[in-house]
Amino acid sequence: MNISIIGSGYVGLVTGACFAELGNKVICADNDTEKISDLKKGVIPIYEPGLEELVANNLKRKRLRFTTSIKEAVKESEIIFIAVGTPSLGNGEADLTGIENVARQIAINMSSYRLIAEKSTVPVETGEWVKHTISTHVKRNVKFDVASNPEFLREGCAINDFMHPDRIVIGVESKKARDILLSLYKPLHAPIVITNIKSAELIKHASNAFLATKISFINAVSNICDKVGAQITEVAEGMGLDKRIGSSFLNAGVGYGGSCFPKDLDAFITISEKLGYNFELLKAVKDINEQQKACVLGKLKDALWIIKDKTIGVLGLSFKPSTDDIRNAPSLDIIKALEAEGANIKVYDPQAMAKARSMLKNAKFCKDPYQACKDADCLLIVTEWDEFKELDFTRVKKLLKRPLIIDGRNIYDPKKLSKLGFIYIGIGRSEK
């Protein structure tokens, strides 16, 4: 099929490359000329395992093309995905300026039937506005359909998520749109949920909000574990084996971050409010997530007493492993709070340091985890990169000023570290 993706950010790029890999002819468009000129040369602006190879392979086979011209993209494709950003406005609302703009440009450039599918995460009823915008600007007698086809890609494993999805959600209003999307996704052999457009839009917001709720729930329980000396990892295991609950997304830690959960939660709370519903549950989920960062600071203070002039070695900047993404990363808030109290920060991350440098002007960026440990009063784990799980602890102990580890992601075995002579403090894992 001939497909265009408007917006070559994280979602657009992965989606475009994967559709091309499935044998479709794909045009990825973006108004960022520098980005497009890099992409034409195979230079990928983000770190996502496997993406560079996928793009290179499909560029070579001429199944993937990049352009700055929406006109060209619309002219040559029957299906047009909108994958532009929907950032948060200051008040939590999603900024849909990009969506409106693209919808208008698609309409102006359409001269025969097109299926326009929303990929970006958008508040419920955006599809209605897209339809309205296209109707207003399209030439008379040109037919089109609008669909909602939300993505559920996780950074770090986005290609695998695309190729092996738990489900594909298709929100449509016509048989034609339904048939086109069904045949596009047929090669993936995945369960397909067909709904109306509003339900599809809501599935996306509700799924992300539910996952964030699961994380905040287990983080809240971890606070109780700390108070009584129970082990959150055991509690989570015992809960997760209940099939109705499920074991994923029950890892307690420093809180969730990233480009999706915080933004989507805000947008869901705001659209609910606009529709006349006060979604208090989600407000609490958000609050707990903020408190979790403060909880890590509290643990540091309990262990070090005064933070001023102490050196903290921080391992991990990205909001989760296998990505260089630091958007809404808990690391940034934690480091800034520590610096505000007068701490010296030494930090290491396998991928995210380049992106973080301009935001953390006072931190010392280290070449490896051991340099971050050298002469530090404490080692703080913020992101659970595999590299940190296999440290040489004898070396770490020699390098640290005090053998204190605050494990913000519960990646270490507390008993093993205690045996090696460390003071180990995890999340919801204190011994009483």
Q: Which amino acid is at 116?
A: I
Examine the residue annotation and report whether 260 is marked as an active-site residue of this protein. Answer: yes
Residue placing its CB nearer to ligand UDX in the complex, 10 or 348: 10
Residue 260 CB, nearest distance to ligand UDX (Å)? 3
> Using CA atoms, how far apart are residues 387 and 380, in angstroms rounded to an integer?
14
Tell me which of 39, 153, 269, 417 binds ligand UDX, using CB under 6 A.
153
Residue 220 CB, nearest distance to ligand UDX (Å)? 12
Residue 257 engages ligand UDX in binding (rule: CB under 6 A): yes
Quickly count: other Cβ atoms within 10 Å of residue 309's Cβ: 10
Residue 154 engages ligand UDX in binding (rule: CB under 6 A): yes
Residue in the block written with tokens 């909602």: 148
Give long-range contacts, CB 8 A cutoff, 24+ apart: 414-417: 417/393
Helical spans, DSSP H, in 120-196: 126-137, 158-163, 175-185
Q: Indicate if the alpha-carbon torsion angle 158, 162, 164, 165 is positive or negative.
A: positive
Residue 288 engages ligand UDX in binding (rule: CB under 6 A): no
Number of residues forming the site for ligand UDX (CB under 6 A): 19
Q: Please, which of residues 197-226 interact with ligand UDX by CB under 6 A?
A: 208, 211, 215
> Using CA atoms, how far apart are residues 27 and 8, in angstroms rounded to an integer?
10
| Residue number, nearest CB to ligand UDX | 260
Residue 320 engages ligand UDX in binding (rule: CB under 6 A): yes
Residue 299 CB, nearest distance to ligand UDX (Å)? 16
- Which window, 42-50, 172-180, 253-261, 390-398, contacts ligand UDX (CB under 6 A)? 253-261
Residue 258 engages ligand UDX in binding (rule: CB under 6 A): yes
> Using CA atoms, how far apart are residues 92 and 328, in angstroms rounded to an integer?
14
Residue 352 engages ligand UDX in binding (rule: CB under 6 A): no
The answer to whether the CB of 234 falls within 8 A of the CB of 248 is: no
Site track 51-90 with ligand UDX (rule: CB under 6 A), x = hit = ----------------------------------------
- Which window, 86-94, 131-139, 181-189, 250-258, contacts ligand UDX (CB under 6 A)? 250-258
Residue 19 engages ligand UDX in binding (rule: CB under 6 A): no
Residue 417 CB, nearest distance to ligand UDX (Å)? 21
CA angle 319, 96, 206 (to 5 degrees): 55
Q: Which one is catalytic: 18, 28, 225, 260?
A: 260
Residue in the block written with tokens 């600007």: 137
Residue 233 engages ligand UDX in binding (rule: CB under 6 A): no
Strand order across the 168-171 sheet: 64-67, 25-29, 2-6, 79-82, 114-118, 144-148, 168-171, 192-195
- Which window, 258-266, 357-365, 374-382, 395-403, contacts ligand UDX (CB under 6 A)? 258-266
> Residue 169 is encoded by which pair of tokens?
């959600």
3-state helix, strand, coil in the chain (%, to 5): 45, 15, 40
Strand order across the 378-381 sheet: 364-365, 344-348, 311-315, 378-381, 404-407, 423-425
> Using CA atoms, how far apart are residues 219 and 223, in angstroms rounded to an integer?
7
Residue placing its CB nearer to ligand UDX in the complex, 15 or 109: 15
Tell me which of 19, 81, 256, 424 binds ligand UDX, using CB under 6 A.
256
Residue 385 engages ligand UDX in binding (rule: CB under 6 A): no
Residue 250 engages ligand UDX in binding (rule: CB under 6 A): yes
Residue 377 CB, nearest distance to ligand UDX (Å)? 25
DSSP 173: S
Residue 151 engages ligand UDX in binding (rule: CB under 6 A): yes
Contact residues for ligand UDX, defined by CB under 6 A: 151-155, 208, 211, 215, 249-251, 253, 256-258, 260-261, 319-320
Q: Which positions are catalytic? A: 260
